[in-house]
Amino acid sequence: MKVLMLKDVKGTGSEGEIVNVSDGFGRNYLIPRKLAVPADAKNINAAKIKKAAEEHRIDVQRKVARELASGMSDLTVRIYAKSGENGRLFGSITGKEIADALKEQYDLSVDKKKIRIADPIKALGIYEVGAHMFEQTDATFKVEVLPVKE
């Protein structure tokens, strides 16, 4: 019996694969547990359409990430923070603060977990910061830390 795997099953096959299994294993285990469906023309075509749609979605995400990354290289994000003597900050600048400033100043939404800060930002000045946009797509931009005007 040929079945189209819907999920990975150890020792049998991985998702999207067409495998040949014994009739009993297919009818009594794989199909009732929705791990596989019979490999008829309708199910195979539906799986191909689903896979093509997923690939298209990933390509669109990759293209958008590259465009966003190329546009971010010229940006300078300004963050105002309280500082003490010699320009030392009370605390440090985090990825969340940088993400909020990007959203507020440039209307760019970047997840705070995707922002890569090489060394902790604990003083006033200009720093290079990276952001991981998508697989193999990174952007670098500048963060300028300025004192709060009181």
Instruction: Please give the pLDDT value at position 126.
Output: 92
d(CA 3, CA 142): 53
d(CA 102, CA 97): 9
Inter-CA distances, 131 with 121, 127, 141, 142, 146, Å: 15, 13, 8, 11, 21
Domain that holds residue 136: 68-147
Q: Are residues 72 and 143 in the same domain?
A: yes
Domain closes at, from 16, 51, 67: 67
Q: What is the pLDDT of residue 150?
A: 63
Residues 112 and 81 in one domain: yes
For residue 53, what are its two tokens?
A: 């749609």
How many domains, the chain? 2
- CATH code for position 42: 3.40.5.10
Which residues are CB-contacts of 79 (< 8 A; sequence separation ≥ 6)? 93, 97, 98, 101, 143, 144, 145, 146
Q: Tell me, what CATH number does 112's domain have? A: 3.10.430.100
Which has more confidence, 31 or 87?
Answer: 31
Whether residues 10 and 76 fall in one domain: no
**Can you tell me the mean pLDDT for 83-95?**
88
- Looking at every residue in the chain, the average pLDDT score rounds to 90
